Amino acid sequence: MRTSEVLASKDDAVTLDSTAERTTEANEDAGERPAGSQVVRAREIHYDYVSGGGSLPVLNGLSLDIAESEIVMLTGPSGSGKTTLLTLIGALRTIQRGSLEVLGKELACASGADRLTLRREIGFVFQTHNLLDALTASQNVSLALELKSVCRENRDKAADALTKVGLGHRLGHRPNAMSIGECQRVSIARAIVNRPRLLLADEPTAALDNKSTERMLAMFRDLVDAEGCSMIAVTHDPRTMDVADRIIAMDDGRLHPGTPL
Ligand SMILES: Nc1ncnc2c1ncn2[C@@H]1O[C@H](COP(=O)(O)OP(=O)(O)OP(=O)(O)O)[C@@H](O)[C@H]1O
């Protein structure tokens, strides 16, 4: 796929040739959006990893808007900062410089308690599925609902989420008795069981065959359309692009030049 195609929104084809005009329009649009319609508003974010006296700049003044009910696919070369951005949006890392508003909460000055509250409204699908081996599929998903008890209602919700991802017949299986793709689907069920307002996914289809990928993508679309949640997925998987409302390319810690905000 050519870069200009990667940068094309489904509704509004954008090519690199019309960069300046489009970016200006996008900036104006972003400014005019009514309050509340944006789920993510990032401005001039910088992020460096610091270790052993050295510092690695990873995000270099990135700005971005994500609207309600939008599915955004985040692409770009390895090391361009996609996962770092996702973890900042998910309040899993602390923003160092710039402004980042997620679900109406500014994270630049948020307390630990505020970040925890925000995280409860977000569903995460990690690159590694992070399931607990000692628990069944149903228990792993229930855990996202309520840490202190695995009550009947939560079990039903977990079963419902697992059925949505095609694992209604695997409720009692433990991760080590399931394939990598099945574990990945359990982690997707865990991410959606709380009916999150924002779903963040890192390579959600990497371990899935074509049939499961199709099913997951249709489910993401339904979730976004029916519940008004938004989704940001880091992906290299060309199979996911059709479901995207917008495909954003990152390069060297910024949006690729010419990408509308
Ligand atoms: N915890 C960390 N400590 C130090 N450097 C890190 C850490 N996490 C990531 N990096 C570095 O930051 C850069 C960006 O990493 P990041 O995972 O955000 O990129 P990415 O675009 O998601 O890459 P990929 O597509 O390979 O997953 C890379 O050079 C990576 O090695």
Residues 63-104 pLDDT 10s: 999 999 999 999 999 999 999 999 999 999 999 999 999 999
Burial of residue 51 (number of CB atoms within 10 Å: 0-12, 13-18, 19+): exposed
For residues 197-226, average pLDDT? 92
- Is the CB–ligand 1 distance for residue 140 below 6 Å? no
Tell me how far the alpha carbon of residue 203 lies from the centroid of ligand 1, in angstroms: 14
Residues 135-177 pLDDT 10s: 899 988 988 776 545 577 888 999 999 999 999 999 999 999 9
> pTM of the entire structure?
0.83
Helix (H) or strand (E) holding 30, with range, is helix 19-32
- Is the CB–ligand 1 distance for residue 55 below 6 Å? no
| Antiparallel, parallel or unpaired: β 97-102 and 105-106 | antiparallel
- Is the CB–ligand 1 distance for residue 81 below 6 Å? yes
* Site of tokens 């000692």: 134
- Is the CB–ligand 1 distance for residue 58 below 6 Å? yes
In angstroms, rounded to a whole number, what is the distance separating the alpha carbons of residues 36 and 56?
A: 34
In angstroms, rounded to a whole number, what is the distance separating the alpha carbons of residues 158 and 148?
A: 15
Atom number in ligand 1 closest to CA 203: 27
Name the band, by pLDDT with cuts 50, 70 and 90, for residue 51. confident
Among protein residues, the one with the nearest Cα to ligand 1's atom 11 is 79
In angstroms, rounded to a whole number, what is the distance separating the alpha carbons of residues 74 and 83?
A: 9
Cβ-contact 94, 64 below 8 angstroms: no
Taken in order of first residue, the domains within the chain and their CATH numbers are 3-121+196-255 (3.40.50.300), 132-190 (no CATH)
Q: Mean pLDDT for the chain? A: 83
Complex-level ipTM:
0.97
- Is the CB–ligand 1 distance for residue 253 below 6 Å? no
Token reading at 94: 């602390």
Among protein residues, the one with the nearest Cα to ligand 1's atom 26 is 78
Question: What does residue 237 show for φ and ψ, rounded to 5 degrees?
Answer: -90, 110
- Is the CB–ligand 1 distance for residue 154 below 6 Å? no
Atom number in ligand 1 closest to CA 86: 18
Would the CA dihedral through 44, 200, 4, 27 be positive or negative?
A: negative
Cβ-contact 236, 203 below 8 angstroms: yes
Q: How many CB atoms lie under 10 A from the CB of residue 184? A: 26
Atom number in ligand 1 closest to CA 81: 18
